[in-house]
Amino acid sequence: MPSSPIIDRRILMFVDDIYEDLELWYPKYRLQEAGAKVTLAGPRAGTRYTGKHGYPATSDLAIGEVEAQNFDGVVLAGGFAPDKLRRDEKVKDLVRHFHQRRQLVAAICHGGWIAISAGVYSGVKVTGSPGIKDDLINAGALWMDAEVVVDRHFVSSRKPDDLPAFCRGIFQVLAAQ
C-alpha cells in the first residue's frame, strides 16, 4: 500500500446528542481507513451520545480535556448538536486555534454553526445547509450552493448526499498541509 499524506494525522470531531449520524460516521471511517487517528470529544468523556437517527457514538475525551496542539484539524458534523456545542467556549477556542494555524476546519450541514460562533468565516467561501444560509452570510461568509467548497484550509458541504465530495475536500486540504 503506498504511503498516504493522511497517515497518522490526528483529527478532532465533536459529538453530542442529536448529531447527524452519517455526517459523523462517514468522515470518521473514511479518515480512519486512510490512516488518520480520529478522536470524538463530547461534553463528557466515555459518554454515549445518540444521533438523530438513533445511532450511538461514545466520546473518547471530554471537550474540556482537548489540547489543540495534539490535533491537525477538526471536522464539524451537522445535526442539532452543533447548536448546543457552539455555546461552549472551549469548542469555539479550538476551532479558532485550527483556523489561526491554517489547519483543517471542515463543516457539513449545520456544523457550520460552530464555525460561525467561533468567528472564523468572515470572507470565506462556504456552503452548508440551506437552513443556515442566512446565518453564514450574516457571519461574513461568501455563500455558494455546491456539494463541496474548499477555500484554503476550510472545507464545507451541504448535506449527507454530499459526503463523498466532502471527504475528498478534507483529503485535499490534509494532503496540502
Q: What is the pLDDT at residue 176?
A: 95
In a domain, 170, yes or no: yes
Q: What is the pLDDT at residue 17?
A: 98
Catalytic residue status for 110 = yes
In a domain, 3, yes or no: no
The vertex-17 CA angle with 156 and 155, nearest 5°, equals: 10
Cell numbers standing for residue 108: 457539513
In a domain, 162, yes or no: yes
In a domain, 105, yes or no: yes
Domain with residue 112: its CATH number is 3.40.50.880
In a domain, 140, yes or no: yes
Distance, CA of 84 to CA of 69 (rounded, Å) = 24
CB-CB contact of 109 with 127 (8 Å) = no
Q: What is the pLDDT at residue 2?
A: 47
In a domain, 2, yes or no: no
Catalytic member of 97, 99, 110, 153:
110
Distance, CA of 177 to CA of 167 (rounded, Å) = 15
In a domain, 1, yes or no: no
Q: What is the pLDDT at residue 133?
A: 98
Domain coverage including residue 92: 10-176
Number of domains comprising the chain: 1
Mean pLDDT of successive 10-residue stretches along the chain, which has 177 residues: 76 98 98 97 98 98 98 98 98 98 98 98 98 98 98 98 98 96
Cell numbers standing for residue 149: 467548497
**pTM for this model (two decimals):** 0.97
- Alpha-carbon Rg of the chain, whole angstroms? 14
Distance, CA of 3 to CA of 55 (rounded, Å) = 33
Q: What is the pLDDT at residue 19?
A: 98
